[in-house]
Chains A and B, each alone.
Chain A
Amino acid sequence: MNSPSTQFVSSRRMGVYDPIQQINMWGESLKSNVNLAASIPLIDEAEIKFDSQSEDASHGMLGTNNKYDQEASKPIDKIQRRLAQNREAARKSRLRKKAYVQQLESSRLKLMQLEQELERARQQGMYVGGGLDTNHLGFAGPINSGITTFEMEYGHWVEKQNSQILELRNALNSHIGDLELRILVDDMMNHYSEIFRMKSAAAKADVFYVMSGMWKTTAERFFLWIGGFRPSELLKVLLPLIEPLTEQQRLDVCNLGQSCQQAEDALSQGMEKLQQTLADSIAAGQLMEGSYIPQMATAIEKLEALVSFVNQADHLRKETLQQMSRILTIRQAARCLLALGEYFQRLRALSSLWSNRPREPA
Protein backbone atom coordinates (compact mmCIF):
# COMPACT_ATOMS: atom_id res chain seq x y z
CA MET A 1 0.00 0.00 0.00
CA ASN A 2 2.79 2.37 0.71
CA SER A 3 4.62 1.76 -2.57
CA PRO A 4 2.49 4.06 -4.78
CA SER A 5 3.14 7.07 -2.56
CA THR A 6 6.84 6.35 -2.18
CA GLN A 7 7.17 5.91 -5.91
CA PHE A 8 5.72 9.33 -6.45
CA VAL A 9 7.89 10.75 -3.75
CA SER A 10 11.06 9.49 -5.37
CA SER A 11 10.01 10.77 -8.77
CA ARG A 12 9.29 14.27 -7.50
CA ARG A 13 11.80 17.07 -7.28
CA MET A 14 12.26 17.33 -3.54
CA GLY A 15 12.11 20.52 -1.57
CA VAL A 16 9.61 22.45 -3.71
CA TYR A 17 6.44 21.20 -2.09
CA ASP A 18 5.90 20.50 1.61
CA PRO A 19 3.28 17.88 0.78
CA ILE A 20 5.97 15.53 -0.43
CA GLN A 21 7.24 15.23 3.10
CA GLN A 22 3.67 14.97 4.30
CA ILE A 23 2.94 12.03 2.04
CA ASN A 24 6.07 10.36 3.31
CA MET A 25 4.87 10.85 6.88
CA TRP A 26 1.42 9.47 6.08
CA GLY A 27 3.03 6.43 4.60
CA GLU A 28 5.20 5.84 7.65
CA SER A 29 2.49 6.37 10.25
CA LEU A 30 0.02 4.18 8.45
CA LYS A 31 2.46 1.34 7.82
CA SER A 32 1.83 -0.14 11.25
CA ASN A 33 -1.92 -0.31 10.86
CA VAL A 34 -2.81 -2.47 7.90
CA ASN A 35 -6.58 -2.47 8.32
CA LEU A 36 -7.34 1.20 8.56
CA ALA A 37 -4.68 2.11 6.04
CA ALA A 38 -6.23 -0.24 3.51
CA SER A 39 -9.00 2.27 2.84
CA ILE A 40 -6.63 5.16 2.20
CA PRO A 41 -4.90 4.16 -1.04
CA LEU A 42 -7.96 5.13 -3.07
CA ILE A 43 -7.61 8.69 -1.88
CA ASP A 44 -3.83 8.61 -1.89
CA GLU A 45 -3.50 7.67 -5.51
CA ALA A 46 -6.24 9.98 -6.74
CA GLU A 47 -4.92 13.01 -4.94
CA ILE A 48 -1.30 12.26 -5.56
CA LYS A 49 -2.06 12.03 -9.24
CA PHE A 50 -3.79 15.38 -9.01
CA ASP A 51 -0.85 16.84 -7.08
CA SER A 52 1.71 15.49 -9.47
CA GLN A 53 -0.28 16.70 -12.46
CA SER A 54 -0.52 20.21 -11.08
CA GLU A 55 3.12 20.15 -10.15
CA ASP A 56 4.29 18.79 -13.50
CA ALA A 57 2.02 21.22 -15.28
CA SER A 58 3.43 24.18 -13.38
CA HIS A 59 7.00 23.02 -13.85
CA GLY A 60 6.39 22.52 -17.50
CA MET A 61 4.75 25.90 -17.82
CA LEU A 62 7.47 27.61 -15.89
CA GLY A 63 9.95 26.05 -18.16
CA THR A 64 8.06 27.42 -21.15
CA ASN A 65 7.59 30.79 -19.51
CA ASN A 66 11.30 31.28 -18.95
CA LYS A 67 11.86 31.26 -22.68
CA TYR A 68 9.27 33.95 -23.55
CA ASP A 69 9.59 35.96 -20.36
CA GLN A 70 10.19 39.44 -21.67
CA GLU A 71 7.91 39.21 -24.73
CA ALA A 72 4.45 37.94 -23.72
CA SER A 73 3.15 39.22 -20.35
CA LYS A 74 -0.63 38.85 -20.95
CA PRO A 75 -0.70 35.09 -21.58
CA ILE A 76 1.74 34.76 -18.72
CA ASP A 77 -0.73 36.54 -16.37
CA LYS A 78 -3.50 34.17 -17.33
CA ILE A 79 -1.23 31.22 -17.00
CA GLN A 80 0.10 32.35 -13.67
CA ARG A 81 -3.43 32.97 -12.40
CA ARG A 82 -4.41 29.47 -13.39
CA LEU A 83 -1.30 28.09 -11.78
CA ALA A 84 -2.16 29.92 -8.58
CA GLN A 85 -5.68 28.52 -8.67
CA ASN A 86 -4.31 25.05 -9.22
CA ARG A 87 -1.93 25.43 -6.33
CA GLU A 88 -4.74 26.71 -4.14
CA ALA A 89 -7.01 23.79 -5.05
CA ALA A 90 -4.21 21.33 -4.46
CA ARG A 91 -3.45 22.93 -1.11
CA LYS A 92 -7.08 22.71 -0.02
CA SER A 93 -7.27 19.14 -1.14
CA ARG A 94 -4.17 18.27 0.84
CA LEU A 95 -5.63 19.96 3.95
CA ARG A 96 -8.85 17.97 3.60
CA LYS A 97 -6.86 14.80 3.24
CA LYS A 98 -4.80 15.67 6.28
CA ALA A 99 -7.95 16.20 8.35
CA TYR A 100 -9.36 12.89 7.16
CA VAL A 101 -6.20 11.02 7.99
CA GLN A 102 -6.07 12.57 11.44
CA GLN A 103 -9.65 11.45 12.04
CA LEU A 104 -8.75 7.93 10.98
CA GLU A 105 -5.74 7.96 13.25
CA SER A 106 -7.74 8.94 16.30
CA SER A 107 -10.38 6.31 15.47
CA ARG A 108 -7.65 3.71 15.22
CA LEU A 109 -6.32 4.67 18.63
CA LYS A 110 -9.80 4.53 20.10
CA LEU A 111 -10.34 1.09 18.61
CA MET A 112 -7.09 -0.16 20.05
CA GLN A 113 -8.05 1.19 23.46
CA LEU A 114 -11.47 -0.50 23.31
CA GLU A 115 -9.90 -3.78 22.27
CA GLN A 116 -7.51 -3.61 25.19
CA GLU A 117 -10.30 -2.83 27.61
CA LEU A 118 -12.31 -5.73 26.31
CA GLU A 119 -9.37 -8.09 26.64
CA ARG A 120 -8.74 -6.89 30.16
CA ALA A 121 -12.40 -7.34 30.99
CA ARG A 122 -12.46 -10.88 29.63
CA GLN A 123 -9.40 -11.78 31.65
CA GLN A 124 -10.89 -10.36 34.80
CA GLY A 125 -13.93 -12.55 34.41
CA MET A 126 -16.52 -10.03 33.31
CA TYR A 127 -19.16 -11.95 31.42
CA VAL A 128 -19.60 -10.71 27.89
CA GLY A 129 -22.62 -12.55 26.61
CA GLY A 130 -24.18 -12.59 23.15
CA GLY A 131 -25.56 -9.21 22.17
CA LEU A 132 -24.43 -7.61 25.39
CA ASP A 133 -23.46 -3.98 25.07
CA THR A 134 -20.59 -2.65 27.18
CA ASN A 135 -22.84 -0.83 29.63
CA HIS A 136 -23.98 -4.11 31.12
CA LEU A 137 -20.63 -5.66 31.93
CA GLY A 138 -20.63 -6.76 35.54
CA PHE A 139 -17.99 -5.52 37.95
CA ALA A 140 -14.62 -7.19 37.86
CA GLY A 141 -14.26 -10.27 40.02
CA PRO A 142 -12.28 -13.50 40.06
CA ILE A 143 -12.80 -15.66 36.99
CA ASN A 144 -15.82 -17.92 37.60
CA SER A 145 -15.19 -21.22 35.91
CA GLY A 146 -18.80 -22.30 36.44
CA ILE A 147 -20.00 -19.38 34.39
CA THR A 148 -17.29 -19.73 31.76
CA THR A 149 -18.36 -23.34 31.33
CA PHE A 150 -22.00 -22.31 31.10
CA GLU A 151 -21.30 -19.70 28.41
CA MET A 152 -19.39 -22.18 26.34
CA GLU A 153 -22.06 -24.84 26.72
CA TYR A 154 -24.77 -22.31 25.94
CA GLY A 155 -23.12 -21.49 22.62
CA HIS A 156 -23.28 -25.17 21.70
CA TRP A 157 -26.83 -25.40 23.01
CA VAL A 158 -28.02 -22.64 20.69
CA GLU A 159 -26.29 -24.23 17.71
CA LYS A 160 -27.93 -27.57 18.41
CA GLN A 161 -31.26 -25.82 18.99
CA ASN A 162 -31.03 -24.14 15.59
CA SER A 163 -30.30 -27.41 13.83
CA GLN A 164 -33.15 -29.14 15.67
CA ILE A 165 -35.53 -26.39 14.61
CA LEU A 166 -34.45 -26.82 11.01
CA GLU A 167 -34.90 -30.58 11.22
CA LEU A 168 -38.35 -30.19 12.76
CA ARG A 169 -39.47 -27.72 10.12
CA ASN A 170 -38.33 -30.01 7.32
CA ALA A 171 -39.99 -32.99 8.97
CA LEU A 172 -43.33 -31.21 9.33
CA ASN A 173 -43.20 -30.03 5.74
CA SER A 174 -42.38 -33.48 4.45
CA HIS A 175 -45.31 -35.28 6.16
CA ILE A 176 -43.25 -37.83 8.04
CA GLY A 177 -44.97 -40.39 10.26
CA ASP A 178 -45.90 -39.87 13.88
CA LEU A 179 -43.25 -42.26 15.16
CA GLU A 180 -40.37 -40.36 13.57
CA LEU A 181 -41.95 -37.10 14.64
CA ARG A 182 -42.10 -38.32 18.23
CA ILE A 183 -38.37 -38.93 18.16
CA LEU A 184 -37.74 -35.36 17.05
CA VAL A 185 -40.14 -34.00 19.67
CA ASP A 186 -38.51 -36.04 22.43
CA ASP A 187 -35.08 -34.84 21.30
CA MET A 188 -36.17 -31.24 21.57
CA MET A 189 -37.79 -31.76 24.97
CA ASN A 190 -34.60 -33.38 26.22
CA HIS A 191 -32.67 -30.46 24.82
CA TYR A 192 -34.78 -28.08 26.90
CA SER A 193 -34.15 -30.23 29.97
CA GLU A 194 -30.49 -29.79 29.21
CA ILE A 195 -30.63 -25.98 29.38
CA PHE A 196 -32.45 -26.14 32.70
CA ARG A 197 -29.80 -28.47 34.07
CA MET A 198 -27.10 -26.07 32.85
CA LYS A 199 -28.86 -23.10 34.41
CA SER A 200 -29.11 -24.90 37.73
CA ALA A 201 -25.35 -25.42 37.79
CA ALA A 202 -24.77 -21.82 36.72
CA ALA A 203 -27.08 -20.56 39.49
CA LYS A 204 -24.89 -22.32 42.03
CA ALA A 205 -21.84 -20.67 40.50
CA ASP A 206 -23.35 -17.17 40.28
CA VAL A 207 -27.04 -16.68 40.95
CA PHE A 208 -26.97 -13.01 39.91
CA TYR A 209 -25.61 -13.97 36.53
CA VAL A 210 -28.62 -16.23 36.02
CA MET A 211 -31.11 -13.80 37.58
CA SER A 212 -29.99 -11.05 35.21
CA GLY A 213 -30.09 -13.31 32.16
CA MET A 214 -26.56 -12.29 31.28
CA TRP A 215 -26.17 -14.97 28.61
CA LYS A 216 -29.28 -13.82 26.77
CA THR A 217 -29.49 -11.25 24.00
CA THR A 218 -30.91 -7.81 24.74
CA ALA A 219 -34.42 -8.39 23.42
CA GLU A 220 -34.69 -11.68 25.32
CA ARG A 221 -33.67 -9.90 28.51
CA PHE A 222 -36.50 -7.44 28.05
CA PHE A 223 -38.91 -10.27 28.84
CA LEU A 224 -36.91 -11.58 31.79
CA TRP A 225 -38.72 -13.00 34.79
CA ILE A 226 -36.61 -14.65 37.51
CA GLY A 227 -33.83 -15.66 35.17
CA GLY A 228 -35.86 -16.74 32.14
CA PHE A 229 -39.08 -16.50 30.17
CA ARG A 230 -42.49 -16.23 31.79
CA PRO A 231 -44.33 -19.48 30.95
CA SER A 232 -47.86 -18.00 30.96
CA GLU A 233 -46.80 -15.33 28.44
CA LEU A 234 -45.30 -17.97 26.21
CA LEU A 235 -48.54 -19.96 26.30
CA LYS A 236 -50.44 -16.88 25.16
CA VAL A 237 -48.07 -16.52 22.21
CA LEU A 238 -48.20 -20.19 21.25
CA LEU A 239 -51.91 -20.95 21.68
CA PRO A 240 -53.16 -19.35 18.45
CA LEU A 241 -50.39 -21.06 16.51
CA ILE A 242 -51.30 -24.63 17.42
CA GLU A 243 -54.95 -24.50 16.36
CA PRO A 244 -56.95 -26.48 15.53
CA LEU A 245 -57.50 -27.87 19.02
CA THR A 246 -60.33 -29.94 20.41
CA GLU A 247 -62.58 -28.32 23.00
CA GLN A 248 -61.00 -30.42 25.74
CA GLN A 249 -57.52 -29.41 24.62
CA ARG A 250 -58.41 -25.75 24.52
CA LEU A 251 -59.84 -26.01 28.02
CA ASP A 252 -56.77 -27.85 29.27
CA VAL A 253 -54.41 -25.28 27.76
CA CYS A 254 -56.43 -22.43 29.29
CA ASN A 255 -56.37 -24.10 32.68
CA LEU A 256 -52.64 -24.66 32.33
CA GLY A 257 -52.20 -20.97 31.54
CA GLN A 258 -54.24 -19.97 34.55
CA SER A 259 -52.36 -22.30 36.91
CA CYS A 260 -49.10 -20.98 35.48
CA GLN A 261 -50.19 -17.43 36.12
CA GLN A 262 -51.12 -18.25 39.71
CA ALA A 263 -47.83 -20.02 40.35
CA GLU A 264 -45.89 -17.13 38.79
CA ASP A 265 -47.75 -14.62 40.96
CA ALA A 266 -46.95 -16.61 44.07
CA LEU A 267 -43.27 -16.76 43.16
CA SER A 268 -43.21 -13.05 42.29
CA GLN A 269 -44.67 -12.21 45.68
CA GLY A 270 -42.11 -14.46 47.31
CA MET A 271 -39.39 -12.53 45.45
CA GLU A 272 -40.82 -9.24 46.67
CA LYS A 273 -40.77 -10.57 50.21
CA LEU A 274 -37.16 -11.58 49.69
CA GLN A 275 -36.25 -8.08 48.50
CA GLN A 276 -38.04 -6.57 51.46
CA THR A 277 -36.39 -8.79 54.05
CA LEU A 278 -33.01 -8.26 52.40
CA ALA A 279 -33.48 -4.51 52.58
CA ASP A 280 -34.54 -4.84 56.21
CA SER A 281 -31.57 -6.95 57.16
CA ILE A 282 -29.14 -4.56 55.48
CA ALA A 283 -30.71 -1.56 57.18
CA ALA A 284 -31.01 -3.30 60.55
CA GLY A 285 -29.00 -2.00 63.43
CA GLN A 286 -27.88 1.56 63.29
CA LEU A 287 -27.31 3.02 59.89
CA MET A 288 -24.78 5.86 60.01
CA GLU A 289 -22.68 4.03 62.58
CA GLY A 290 -20.25 2.76 60.01
CA SER A 291 -20.16 -0.88 61.11
CA TYR A 292 -22.36 -3.57 59.61
CA ILE A 293 -20.88 -7.02 59.99
CA PRO A 294 -23.83 -8.79 61.70
CA GLN A 295 -26.25 -7.53 59.07
CA MET A 296 -24.08 -8.98 56.35
CA ALA A 297 -24.47 -12.54 57.64
CA THR A 298 -28.28 -12.40 57.43
CA ALA A 299 -28.06 -10.63 54.10
CA ILE A 300 -25.85 -13.37 52.66
CA GLU A 301 -28.41 -15.97 53.74
CA LYS A 302 -31.10 -14.04 51.90
CA LEU A 303 -29.04 -13.90 48.74
CA GLU A 304 -28.53 -17.64 48.89
CA ALA A 305 -32.29 -18.03 48.89
CA LEU A 306 -32.26 -16.53 45.39
CA VAL A 307 -30.86 -19.80 44.11
CA SER A 308 -33.98 -21.66 45.19
CA PHE A 309 -36.19 -19.08 43.49
CA VAL A 310 -34.33 -19.37 40.22
CA ASN A 311 -34.55 -23.15 40.42
CA GLN A 312 -38.26 -22.94 41.18
CA ALA A 313 -38.91 -20.65 38.24
CA ASP A 314 -37.03 -23.04 35.94
CA HIS A 315 -39.02 -25.93 37.36
CA LEU A 316 -42.18 -24.06 36.44
CA ARG A 317 -40.92 -23.56 32.87
CA LYS A 318 -39.99 -27.19 32.52
CA GLU A 319 -43.32 -28.38 33.93
CA THR A 320 -45.23 -26.10 31.57
CA LEU A 321 -43.45 -27.59 28.58
CA GLN A 322 -44.13 -31.11 29.81
CA GLN A 323 -47.79 -30.40 30.46
CA MET A 324 -48.15 -29.00 26.94
CA SER A 325 -46.64 -32.13 25.47
CA ARG A 326 -49.16 -34.21 27.45
CA ILE A 327 -52.16 -32.15 26.33
CA LEU A 328 -51.21 -32.02 22.66
CA THR A 329 -51.01 -34.70 19.99
CA ILE A 330 -47.56 -35.46 18.69
CA ARG A 331 -48.09 -33.37 15.58
CA GLN A 332 -49.46 -30.43 17.57
CA ALA A 333 -46.55 -30.72 20.00
CA ALA A 334 -44.12 -30.66 17.10
CA ARG A 335 -45.68 -27.49 15.71
CA CYS A 336 -45.72 -25.98 19.19
CA LEU A 337 -42.01 -26.67 19.71
CA LEU A 338 -41.21 -25.35 16.25
CA ALA A 339 -43.12 -22.14 16.97
CA LEU A 340 -41.38 -21.81 20.33
CA GLY A 341 -37.96 -22.30 18.80
CA GLU A 342 -38.62 -19.82 16.01
CA TYR A 343 -39.96 -17.28 18.47
CA PHE A 344 -36.65 -17.22 20.32
CA GLN A 345 -34.70 -17.20 17.07
CA ARG A 346 -36.60 -14.07 16.06
CA LEU A 347 -35.92 -12.44 19.43
CA ARG A 348 -32.22 -13.11 19.01
CA ALA A 349 -32.31 -11.76 15.46
CA LEU A 350 -34.08 -8.66 16.73
CA SER A 351 -31.35 -8.10 19.31
CA SER A 352 -28.74 -8.37 16.61
CA LEU A 353 -30.53 -5.94 14.31
CA TRP A 354 -31.05 -3.53 17.16
CA SER A 355 -27.41 -3.43 18.17
CA ASN A 356 -26.31 -3.01 14.54
CA ARG A 357 -28.85 -0.39 13.56
CA PRO A 358 -27.44 2.79 11.97
CA ARG A 359 -27.34 5.56 14.50
CA GLU A 360 -27.56 9.33 14.07
CA PRO A 361 -24.14 10.93 14.52
CA ALA A 362 -24.01 12.67 17.89
Chain B
Amino acid sequence: MEKVTRLASQNGVVIFTKSSCCLCYAVKILFQELGVNPTVHELDKDTVEGREMEKAIARLGCSAPIPVVYIGGKLVGSTNEVMSLHLSGSLIPLLKPYSATLS
Protein backbone atom coordinates (compact mmCIF):
# COMPACT_ATOMS: atom_id res chain seq x y z
CA MET B 1 0.00 0.00 0.00
CA GLU B 2 2.92 2.32 0.70
CA LYS B 3 4.04 2.15 -2.88
CA VAL B 4 0.53 2.98 -3.99
CA THR B 5 0.36 6.01 -1.73
CA ARG B 6 3.80 7.11 -2.75
CA LEU B 7 3.06 6.88 -6.43
CA ALA B 8 -0.38 8.39 -5.94
CA SER B 9 0.87 11.45 -4.16
CA GLN B 10 2.82 12.49 -7.18
CA ASN B 11 1.46 15.69 -8.56
CA GLY B 12 -1.00 15.52 -11.38
CA VAL B 13 -3.16 12.69 -12.56
CA VAL B 14 -2.08 9.17 -11.60
CA ILE B 15 -3.84 6.12 -12.98
CA PHE B 16 -3.26 2.54 -11.89
CA THR B 17 -4.09 0.22 -14.76
CA LYS B 18 -3.26 -3.10 -16.35
CA SER B 19 -1.78 -3.28 -19.83
CA SER B 20 -4.56 -5.57 -21.05
CA CYS B 21 -7.37 -3.34 -19.77
CA CYS B 22 -9.03 -1.39 -22.57
CA LEU B 23 -11.33 0.52 -20.24
CA CYS B 24 -8.19 1.85 -18.53
CA TYR B 25 -7.04 2.93 -21.96
CA ALA B 26 -10.33 4.76 -22.48
CA VAL B 27 -9.90 6.68 -19.22
CA LYS B 28 -6.39 7.64 -20.22
CA ILE B 29 -7.70 8.89 -23.58
CA LEU B 30 -10.32 10.99 -21.79
CA PHE B 31 -7.70 12.74 -19.69
CA GLN B 32 -5.57 13.33 -22.75
CA GLU B 33 -8.58 14.81 -24.55
CA LEU B 34 -8.93 17.21 -21.61
CA GLY B 35 -5.35 18.32 -22.02
CA VAL B 36 -3.81 16.35 -19.18
CA ASN B 37 -1.05 13.79 -19.50
CA PRO B 38 -1.67 11.20 -16.80
CA THR B 39 1.03 9.08 -15.18
CA VAL B 40 0.08 5.50 -15.84
CA HIS B 41 1.28 2.65 -13.63
CA GLU B 42 0.59 -0.76 -15.12
CA LEU B 43 0.23 -3.14 -12.21
CA ASP B 44 0.81 -6.23 -14.31
CA LYS B 45 4.16 -4.84 -15.43
CA ASP B 46 5.42 -4.44 -11.86
CA THR B 47 6.70 -7.97 -11.30
CA VAL B 48 7.88 -7.28 -7.76
CA GLU B 49 5.08 -5.45 -6.02
CA GLY B 50 2.33 -5.51 -8.63
CA ARG B 51 0.17 -8.15 -6.94
CA GLU B 52 0.44 -6.47 -3.53
CA MET B 53 -0.52 -3.14 -5.04
CA GLU B 54 -3.45 -4.73 -6.82
CA LYS B 55 -4.76 -6.13 -3.53
CA ALA B 56 -4.25 -2.84 -1.73
CA ILE B 57 -6.12 -0.95 -4.42
CA ALA B 58 -8.96 -3.45 -4.40
CA ARG B 59 -9.39 -2.73 -0.68
CA LEU B 60 -10.00 0.94 -1.47
CA GLY B 61 -13.55 0.03 -2.40
CA CYS B 62 -13.85 1.80 -5.74
CA SER B 63 -16.61 0.81 -8.16
CA ALA B 64 -14.09 -1.35 -10.07
CA PRO B 65 -10.60 -2.72 -9.23
CA ILE B 66 -9.03 -0.92 -12.20
CA PRO B 67 -8.51 1.71 -13.34
CA VAL B 68 -8.03 3.69 -10.16
CA VAL B 69 -7.46 7.42 -10.52
CA TYR B 70 -5.76 9.89 -8.20
CA ILE B 71 -5.72 13.61 -8.88
CA GLY B 72 -3.29 15.76 -6.91
CA GLY B 73 -2.74 12.92 -4.45
CA LYS B 74 -6.45 12.53 -3.73
CA LEU B 75 -8.34 9.35 -4.61
CA VAL B 76 -11.02 10.00 -7.22
CA GLY B 77 -12.14 6.45 -7.88
CA SER B 78 -12.65 4.27 -10.92
CA THR B 79 -14.23 4.85 -14.34
CA ASN B 80 -17.73 5.43 -12.93
CA GLU B 81 -16.51 8.16 -10.61
CA VAL B 82 -14.46 9.85 -13.33
CA MET B 83 -17.39 9.84 -15.75
CA SER B 84 -19.84 11.15 -13.14
CA LEU B 85 -17.44 13.94 -12.21
CA HIS B 86 -16.96 14.88 -15.83
CA LEU B 87 -20.66 14.97 -16.66
CA SER B 88 -21.40 17.09 -13.63
CA GLY B 89 -18.70 19.51 -14.75
CA SER B 90 -16.55 18.91 -11.69
CA LEU B 91 -13.67 17.10 -13.35
CA ILE B 92 -12.21 19.98 -15.32
CA PRO B 93 -11.82 22.25 -12.26
CA LEU B 94 -9.86 19.45 -10.59
CA LEU B 95 -7.61 19.16 -13.61
CA LYS B 96 -6.95 22.87 -14.11
CA PRO B 97 -3.71 23.04 -12.09
CA TYR B 98 -2.27 20.16 -14.10
CA SER B 99 -3.22 21.07 -17.58
CA ALA B 100 -1.62 23.49 -19.97
CA THR B 101 -4.70 23.80 -22.14
CA LEU B 102 -7.34 24.12 -19.42
CA SER B 103 -5.86 26.89 -17.27
Interface residues of A (CB under 8 A from B): 252, 255-256, 259-260, 262-263, 265-267, 269-271, 273-274, 277, 301-302, 305, 308-309, 312, 315-316, 319-320, 323, 326
- Interface residue SS majority, chain A: helix
User: How close is B17's CB to chain A, nearest CB, in angstroms?
Assistant: 12
Known: A273-B22, A315-B80. A266 touches B87 (CB 8 A): no
CB-CB < 8 A to B20: which residues of A? 277, 301-302
Tell me the nearest residue of chain B to A276, going by C-beta.
B22
User: How close is B39's CB to chain A, nearest CB, in angstroms?
Assistant: 18
User: How close is A236's CB to chain B, nearest CB, in angstroms?
Assistant: 16
Docked-complex contact B23 and A259, CB < 8 angstroms: no
B4 CB-CB contact with A under 8 Å: no
Q: Which candidate, B25-33, B47-55, B94-102, is the interface stretch facing chain A?
A: B25-33
Docked-complex contact A323 and B88, CB < 8 angstroms: yes
CB-CB < 8 A to B30: which residues of A? 262-263, 265-266
Give the interface size class of chain B. 20 to 34
- The answer for the CA separation of A266 and B24 in the assembled complex, in Å, is 10
B84 CB-CB contact with A under 8 Å: yes
- The answer for the CA separation of A320 and B87 in the assembled complex, in Å, is 7
Known: A312-B83, A323-B88. A265 touches B29 (CB 8 A): yes
Please name 5 further chain A to chain B contacts, defined as beta carbons within 8 Å, in addition to the given A263-B30, A308-B64, A316-B87, sorted by A numbering. Answer: A271-B22, A305-B21, A312-B83, A315-B79, A319-B87
Docked-complex contact B84 and A319, CB < 8 angstroms: yes
Docked-complex contact B26 and A266, CB < 8 angstroms: yes
Docked-complex contact B83 and A316, CB < 8 angstroms: yes
CB-CB < 8 A to B21: which residues of A? 305
- The answer for the CA separation of A305 and B87 in the assembled complex, in Å, is 23
B7 CB-CB contact with A under 8 Å: no
- The answer for the CA separation of A265 and B83 in the assembled complex, in Å, is 12
B23, B29, B64 — most chain A CB neighbours (10 Å): B23
Write the B47-76 contact mask toward A (1 if CB under 8 angstroms, else 0).
Answer: 000000000000000001000000000000
B43 CB-CB contact with A under 8 Å: no
Known: A263-B30, A265-B29, A308-B64. A270 touches B23 (CB 8 A): yes
User: How close is B77's CB to chain A, nearest CB, in angstroms?
Assistant: 12
Tell me the nearest residue of chain B to A305, going by C-beta.
B22
CB-CB < 8 A to A259: which residues of B? 86-87, 89, 91
- The answer for the CA separation of A308 and B27 in the assembled complex, in Å, is 13
Cβ-closest 5 pairs across A and B: A270-B26, A266-B30, A274-B22, A266-B29, A266-B26
Known: A262-B33, A265-B29. A270 touches B87 (CB 8 A): no
CB-CB < 8 A to A302: which residues of B? 20, 22
- The answer for the CA separation of A230 and B70 in the assembled complex, in Å, is 28
User: How close is A159's CB to chain B, nearest CB, in angstroms?
Assistant: 30
- The answer for the CA separation of A305 and B21 in the assembled complex, in Å, is 8
